[in-house]
A and B are shown apart, each in its own frame.
Chain A
């Protein structure tokens, strides 16, 4: 029966085309690490042979040592920054999550309302479309004037950046719901609340979560911008401060820290997504994301 065929095809998740003959090529683990290893190796060699000056681009081995001291404070390789990593990392992560939380949740609510009501759309959408096209970095001067120096402008900027992708994708999520589902639910007697809770929200959820993921990404971009300008703690501040003291090894360690924390946050959102959406993946080529 065709249904059995479909089921077995689903059980063995389709692999991207390039992975087809993986038994004859690189083992899977190697496929993941080959690029980072190559980059690190090239970087180390370039530094060792003097292709680039060590104080401009310190080799990965030095970055690792400095990073280690930055976190533990045990070797003093990071000098005045020794052992400060956790404080900076926590400050940045906290700002990202607070800013993201208000920005994304307001964005989702606004986006849903725009998608659900033509009146709200006419009232909100033009304004949002204009505001959306102002780069969030252009808000920096005003946000400093309004909120002064400290956490407030950082959280404002991050929230503002997180708001738009969340809003746009929530609107899209509502709009792309199959009208037949809506009609079917109404035909069965669903009231407004049931329509919202049982048809519109679950139907829009995949798109909402896509927006949430984009918001999280933007939040990590903006936390660096905000910390360079407005605060004295956080990975962005560390990065900028170390730059001013010609400590490029610490700059690189801070950059990689931001990258890793951003990556971890993204995984968190993806995890949330796969916990909430067990149905959506079955129809995609990749089977995840």
Chain B
């Protein structure tokens, strides 16, 4: 049902585009005397690829809400001024939590619409596919996904936030907040997200002086976390890094409580930093640590975005939501300077982006400038902790908004 709705919405967009094109060409041939009017009415299409159905739908739906909020914010502020106040138009596509669908949907979105840029898909496994398609079609893709592979051999992919390897470093350093001699058990789901983050942890652990006593991939979507936690218990670890999406993590935390295991848990990013996590785990979530590429308390602009997002959805702005608003403003900045909806020119403008204030700079570190690999050279993650039902930034010192809560 949902699907057919989406499709009709899509065909609606297409029809509107067709009418616009037809109207535009009529205007061009018939009333060539006043071209500025058709110019002022121009809209800039931004593609949004998110899984709004399927197993990853929960975060995907939140991303779409944030993408809409961001476009409204840009448009209400007057649109793209260098293009006569052109408005951003969001073209949303459901990639159905599926890599094959992601490939065909990215293709369809690019071929069916005149896109200036695309953002998506939050889940690294899907973003990898979308970024391949965008690369071939020469359409810039800006994404909050953290996989380091997105920065390899790409010219059209931009990643304004911390990379998986940086997340790993932050987690390792945070483990020393709790214990002088951290003995860490690493469990990670065997997906692109889990594997890339955990490999980062392994490579960096020796340099950071952190001992890893257990390093285990597990199949995402299990029925029971007990065997896994039994294994963690046997390893003698005092800190647990769990790189998991929401449901697995809920089961893991609940099982740790059942076992009565006294262990500091760092839930990483993904499902852990979502409002739903606290709702599902309840009080057991208090004091649990994690890392995020964005948090709603990092600066005044983030708090404004958070308030607006809360008003619309009832939840605080999670990392991908806030990050998406920042990304949309980065695109707006690039479009402003490119003064053209041409995706190649937008890509050029993105590659020279350099912001340190406003919504576009709303990232830990407060600055965005892309290196040749599309990585934000100032990007860094923020360490967070659940305190009194809220997610609070606690690490590093310059980003900390509250002290660590010891449990």
**A is bound by B:** no
Which B residues lie at the A interface, using CB under 8 A? none
Which A residues lie at the B interface, using CB under 8 A? none
